[in-house]
Amino acid sequence: MNLLIAKWGDSLAVRIPAEYLHHAGMSEGDQIQANLTVDGGICLHPGNWDRKAFLKEIAQTRDRMPMTDSVIDELRREARY
């Protein structure tokens, strides 16, 4: 999803869709942590990050992923030595 950076007083702001906030467990008034990533991106996390909830979400995501060939095995088959 492409978002627009807009002027908000003397600052710039990005509107985050409500669906994204709900999925991340955030709502109006919550504090978030912002970090710069190695590739120049911005990563936002809830200020009250819940490790157990995160692990549960990762497990559910993993369970929904189809099992395919190992990426490493695929790279080895394609490797040129």
Q: How confident is the model at residue 10 (pLDDT cuts 50, 70, 90)?
A: very high
Mean pLDDT estimate for the chain? 85
- For the cut 90, the answer to whether the pLDDT of residue 58 exceeds it is no
- Domain of 64, CATH number, reads 2.10.260
Buried b (16+ CB within 10 A) or exposed e, 1-35: eeeeeeeeeeeeeeeeeeeebeebebeeeeeeeee
Q: 61: domain range?
A: 5-78
Compute the average pLDDT of residues 59-70: 83
User: Would you state the pLDDT for residue 14?
Assistant: 93
Helix ranges (H only) for the chain are 18-24, 51-64, 71-78
For the stretch 16-46, pLDDT in tens is: 999 988 888 888 888 888 888 888 899 888 8
d(CA 11, CA 22): 25
What is the tally of structural domains in the chain? 1
**CA 51 – CA 55 distance, rounded (Å):** 6
pTM comes to 0.48
